[in-house]
């Protein structure tokens, strides 16, 4: 047997060309939890809409690691440090160790994903748990313990913090430096998790919406005080120098277009709905197995096999499986329409239309759906709604004269970026035509409060 | 989506901030809601953590975005940051649907918003973090509280921290 002498290993990657890993990273990649990511689709059942969407969390995690290392090199370079945030950097002697910690955390960030990624997470896991909980459990587990003991002296608790972030670990204290490193991976504006998935998803789906000049953006990232105004906060935050503002705009526009055209495509959304229903039936009253050994046995393959089996054996959940595998999915019969929303708002203001008790969604789609369920079988209807949760367009920009401006002041585009807000009404194929006809005939009467 | 009463309470804070003369950016809203919830037991469900600019709620941020998507609030970029404004007629309809929940907390919300309305982002961060320290480290001696605040937010100086606690005591 040949003696292993290679200190680095390379993966060919369609997005980043070559991704290099050292021995410790290779050891992590070779563990069971990480290898499992080869069987978790990055985009759930989007491949039923865009056939090329067959890529997995495995290569995405490698890409995130690769980008995290590149961003670290840029922001930590002495010539790129802002005098007001210079104090947060650790000593040069330990910078390599921090870079290794960051890259390992990037590799770990998606370990806890359920089959088909985000699709069924909320419904399947116990309240208060999510895939990040499982990620943390895996980092703490015996599966990865040998990694933390090998190679460079890596603080496992630090890897946990960087991989998951302060939002999920609200009981733990993050230093400014750790908060920034975590932001490099999972930050809302410039997280490399997002940068990689936009580029990768765009490539595999064959769409150009997700492409942007990411190399320019990475080179422009800086750790900046949030504001240079007297009344603003000096908290260190990931931002850009002015030369990279257009590439930041391009990233956020790419995000917006991918959300609108791909991630919230109506067929993709309805497949998520059917997949959730099947998985709820499949896992039964016990729910998804969160015990780690059982969790690691669950991949997309087991779910697909269960669906095929259900159809072939004609079991109770065959219909649920058929919605997915035989394309008997619910059809879109209505989607959000700004003009209809305006009609509804006017009627509400005029007190001709009233939200029901505790109703917070006052969109036209919601009012129409409420009426549909009174006219058709509710079991054959589905209302889908998603609103963007955060505003990633807020970050500091270092202007040429040394001032720090907020991004929405420095960029007209970022100040006008719309929120992603989708609403669909779906109906089973057997009644879809009737429902669509009913909506067409009655929607204005409903919205005007008749 | 957040429940209707969360929309109503958040909207009530926005309105109260405007009436108190604030330019009502997200930091004003976040800190007002945090203090209202934790000092006056206003019935917000949003969970707050110590994050950038002090106590922050991702739930509340999501609520504000949902309200914005439905034009219940509008957001206008200004020189010093975006300002939030409430559509009163839509908000009133939601309040009626939520059982007129706002009136129970109206006085407390108005008082807190009056206190915070004219503060800038740095002052809001300091006073809200001071409240956070008082609530989460109740056994800490008064003389050590400013040190604790600096430990959590190193970019805040000791004199600024002292002032923040003095300010917080007046809420």
Q: Crossing angle for the helix pair B26-40 and B58-69, nearest 10 degrees?
A: 130
CA distance B145 to B165: 8
Question: Which of B34-40's residues contact partners 24+ apart within 8 Å by CB, and which partners?
Answer: B34/B128, B34/B131, B34/B132, B35/B112, B35/B116, B35/B128, B35/B131, B35/B171, B36/B9, B36/B105, B36/B108, B36/B109, B36/B112, B38/B131, B38/B135, B39/B112, B39/B131, B39/B135, B39/B171, B40/B105, B40/B108, B40/B109, B40/B112
pLDDT at position B80: 66
Give A412's pLDDT tier (boundaries 50, 70, 90).
confident
- State the pLDDT confidence band at A301, using cuts at 50, 70 and 90: very high
The predicted pLDDT at position A323 comes to 96
Closest CA of chain A from B77, distance in Å: 6
DSSP output for A173-219: ---HHHHHHHHHHH-TTT-HHHHHHHHHHHHHHT-STT---HHHHHH
Interface test with A, best of B9, B84, B122 (most A CBs within 10 A): B122
pTM of the predicted structure, to 2 decimals = 0.93
Alpha carbon distance B98, B91 (integer Å): 10
Could you say which of A236, A355, A408 has the minimum Cβ distance to residue B97? A355
Q: In angstroms, rounded to a whole number, what is the distance separating the alpha carbons of residues B97 and A367?
A: 14
- On the question of pLDDT at A227 being above 80, the answer is no
Is residue A4 pLDDT above 60, yes or no? Answer: no
- Minimum distance, in Å, between the CA of residue B107 and any CA atom of chain A: 23
B59 touches chain A (CB under 8 A): no
Chain A residues touching residue B51 (CB < 8 angstroms): 166-167
Strand partners, A13: A17
Question: In DSSP terms, which residues pair with A239 in a beta bridge?
Answer: A222
Q: Which of B59, B84, B97, B164 to mutate to test the interface with A (most CBs of A within 10 A)?
A: B97
- Please state, in angstroms and rounded to a whole number, the distance separating the CA atoms of residues A67 and A63: 6
Query: In chain B, whose CA is at the least distance from the CA of A86?
Result: B155
Q: Do A167 and B3 touch (CB under 8 A)?
A: no
B 98-137: CB under 8 A from A: 98-99, 120-123, 125
Decide: B45 and B59 in contact? Cβ < 8 Å: yes
- With contacts defined as CB-CB under 8 Å, which chain B residues touch A355? 4, 93-94, 97
DSSP assignment, residue A227? Answer: -
Residue A251: strand pairing partners = none
So what's the ipTM on this one? 0.91
Chain B: give the shortest CA distance to residue A431, in Å. 28
**pLDDT tens digits, B87-105:** 999 999 999 999 999 999 9
The stretches in chain B having pLDDT less than 70 are 1-2, 79-80
Q: Does B19 touch chain A (CB under 8 A)?
A: no
Query: CA B32 to CA A281: how far, in whole Å?
Result: 44
Q: How far is CA A400 from CA A339, B103, B161, in A?
A: 43, 50, 32
The confidence band for A123, taking pLDDT boundaries of 50, 70 and 90, is confident
Residues 6 or more apart whose Cβ sits within 8 Å of residue A43: A53, A55, A117, A201, A262, A263, A268
Residue A11 host element (H or E): strand A8-13
* Inter-chain residue contact A345 with B90, CB threshold 8 Å: yes
Q: How far is CA A298 from CA A33, A295, B11, in A?
A: 11, 5, 43
* A49-88 confidence digits (pLDDT tens): 999 999 999 999 999 999 999 999 999 999 999 999 999 9
Q: Do the chains contact at B61 and A351, CB–CB below 8 Å?
A: no
| Mean pLDDT rounded to a whole number for chain A | 93
Mutation target for B interface from A86, A229, A235: give the one with most B CBs within 10 A.
A235
- CA–CA separation, B121 and B55 (whole Å): 13
Q: Measured between alpha carbons, how far is residue A433 from residues A151, A330, A340 in Å?
A: 63, 11, 20
Nearest residue, CB atoms, B4 vs list A179, A345, A358: A358
Query: For residue A218, what are the CA distances in angstroms to A10, A63, A227, A253?
Result: 21, 14, 21, 16
Chain B residues with beta carbon closer than 8 angstroms to that of A87:
154
pLDDT tens profile A18-55: 999 999 999 999 999 999 999 999 999 999 999 999 99
Instruction: Using the predicted structure, report yes or no on whether residue A269 has a pLDDT greater than 70.
Output: yes
Residue of A nearest to B6 (CA): A360
pLDDT cut 90: percent of chain A above it: 82
**Is A249 a residue whose pLDDT tops 60?**
yes
Looking at the partner chain, which of B6, B49, B154 has a beta carbon nearest the beta carbon of A170? B49
Q: Is the dihedral of CA A345, A349, A350, A352 positive or negative?
A: positive
Distances from the Cα of A369 to the Cα of A347, A378, B99, B102, angstroms: 17, 10, 23, 28
- C-alpha A393/C-alpha B48 separation (Å) is 21
Return d(Cα A363, Cα B67) in angstroms, integer: 11
pLDDT score at A309: 97
Exposure string over A432-441, b if 16+ CB within 10 A, otherwise e: beebbebbee
For B:139-168, CB contacts with A below 8 A are: 152-155
Task: Name the pairing type of β-strands A396-398 and A404-406.
Answer: antiparallel
Please answer whether residues A39 and A114 qualify as being in contact, where contact means their C-beta atoms are separated by less than 8 angstroms.
no
**Which residues of chain A does B72 touch, with a Cβ-Cβ cutoff of 8 Å?**
362
Q: Indicate the pLDDT class of residue A235, thresholds 50, 70 and 90.
A: confident
What is the reported pLDDT for B171?
A: 84
Confidence of residue A272 (pLDDT cuts 50, 70, 90): very high
Model pLDDT for residues A414-433, shown as the tens digit of each residue: 888 888 999 999 999 999 99
Residue A359 has its nearest CB partner, among B97, B123, B154, at B97
| Pairs of residues, one from chain A and one from chain B, whose beta carbons lie less than 8 Å apart | 126
Q: Please, where are the H alpha helices in A286-363?
A: 292-296, 300-313, 318-325, 338-349
Å from B96 to nearest chain A CA?
Answer: 8
pLDDT at B1: 64
Report the length, in residues, of chain B: 171
pLDDT of A3 reads 54
Q: What distance in Å separates the CA atoms of residue A104 and residue A229, rounded to the nearest whole number?
A: 37
Query: Most B CBs within 10 Å: which of A360, A370, A394, A408, as the mutation test of the B interface?
Result: A360
**3-class DSSP assignment, residue A309:** helix
**Beta carbons of B151 and B133 less than 8 angstroms apart:** no
* DSSP 8-state symbol, A352: S
Dist CA A5 CA A245 (whole Å): 44
From the CA of A314, how many Å to the nearest CA of chain B?
37
Checking DSSP bridges between strand A8-13 and strand A17-22, what pairing results, if any? antiparallel
Query: What's the rounded mean pLDDT across residues A305-317?
Result: 95
Give the containing element (helix H, strand E) for A8.
Answer: strand A8-13
The Cα of B25 is separated from the nearest Cα of chain A by a number of Å equal to: 12
Is A243:A103 a contact under the CB 8 Å cutoff?
A: no
Contacts B101 to A, Cβ<8 Å: none
Contact (Cβ atoms closer than 8 angstroms) between residue A327 and residue A307:
no
């Amino acid at each position: 047997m040949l003696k292993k002498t290679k200190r680095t290993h390379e993966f060919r990657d369609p997005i980043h060309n070559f991704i290099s890993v050292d021995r410790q990273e290779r050891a992590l990649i070779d563990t069971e939890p990480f290898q499992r990511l080869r069987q978790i689709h990055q985009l759930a059942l989007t491949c039923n809409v865009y056939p090329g969407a067959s890529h997995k969390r495995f290569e995405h995690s490698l890409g995130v690691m690769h980008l995290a290392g590149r961003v670290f090199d840029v922001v930590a370079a002495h010539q790129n440090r802002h005098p007001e945030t210079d104090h947060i950097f650790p000593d040069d002697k330990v910078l390599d160790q921090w870079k290794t910690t960051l890259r390992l955390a990037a590799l770990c960030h998606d370990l806890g994903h359920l089959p088909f990624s985000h699709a069924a997470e909320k419904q399947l896991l116990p309240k208060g748990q999510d895939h990040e909980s499982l990620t943390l459990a895996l980092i703490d587990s015996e599966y990865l313990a040998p990694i933390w003991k090998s190679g460079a002296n890596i603080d496992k608790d630090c890897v946990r913090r960087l991989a998951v972030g302060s939002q999920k670990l609200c009981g733990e204290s993050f230093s400014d430096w750790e908060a920034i490193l975590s932001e490099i991976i999972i930050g809302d504006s410039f997280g490399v998790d997002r940068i990689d998935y936009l580029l990768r998803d765009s490539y595999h789906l064959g769409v150009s919406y997700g492409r942007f000049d990411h190399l320019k953006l990475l080179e422009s990232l800086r750790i900046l005080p949030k504001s240079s105004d007297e009344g603003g906060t000096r908290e260190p935050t990931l931002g850009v120098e002015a030369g990279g503002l257009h590439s930041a705009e391009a990233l956020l526009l790419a995000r917006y277009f991918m959300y609108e055209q791909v991630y919230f495509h109506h067929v993709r959304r309805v497949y998520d709905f059917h997949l959730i229903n099947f998985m709820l039936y499949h896992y039964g009253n016990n729910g998804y197995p969160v015990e780690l050994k059982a969790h690691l046995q669950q991949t997309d393959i087991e779910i697909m096999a269960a669906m095929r089996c259900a159809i072939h054996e004609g079991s109770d959940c065959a219909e649920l499986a058929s919605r997915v595998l035989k394309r008997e999915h619910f059809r879109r019969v209505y989607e959000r329409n700004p003009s209809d929303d305006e009609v509804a708002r006017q009627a509400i203001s005029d007190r001709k239309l009233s939200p029901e008790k505790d109703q917070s969604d006052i969109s036209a789609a919601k009012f129409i759906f409420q009426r549909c369920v009174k006219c058709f079988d509710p079991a054959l209807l589905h209302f889908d709604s998603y609103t963007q949760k955060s505003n990633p367009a807020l970050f500091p920009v270092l202007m040429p004269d040394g001032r720090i401006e907020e991004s929405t002041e420095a960029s007209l585009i970022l100040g006008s970026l719309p929120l992603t807000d989708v609403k669909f009404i779906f109906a089973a194929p057997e009644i879809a035509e009737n429902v669509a006809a009913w909506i067409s005939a009655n929607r204005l009467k409903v919205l005007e409060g008749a | 989506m957040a429940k209707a009463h969360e929309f109503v309470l958040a909207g009530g804070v926005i309105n109260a901030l405007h009436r108190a003369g604030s330019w009502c950016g997200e930091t004003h809203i976040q800190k007002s809601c945090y203090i209202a919830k934790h000092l006056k037991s206003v019935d917000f469900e949003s969970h707050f953590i110590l994050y950038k600019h002090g106590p922050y709620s991702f739930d509340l941020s999501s609520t504000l975005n949902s309200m914005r998507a439905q034009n219940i609030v509008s957001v206008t970029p200004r020189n010093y940051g975006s300002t939030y404004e409430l559509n009163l007629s839509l908000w009133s309809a939601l309040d009626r649907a939520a059982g007129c929940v706002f009136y129970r907390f109206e006085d407390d919300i108005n008082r807190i918003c009056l206190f915070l309305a004219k503060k800038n982002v740095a002052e809001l961060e300091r006073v809200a973090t001071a409240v956070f320290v008082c609530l989460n480290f109740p056994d800490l001696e008064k003389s050590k509280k400013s040190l604790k605040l600096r430990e959590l937010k190193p970019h805040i100086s000791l004199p600024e921290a002292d002032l923040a606690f003095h300010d917080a005591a007046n809420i």
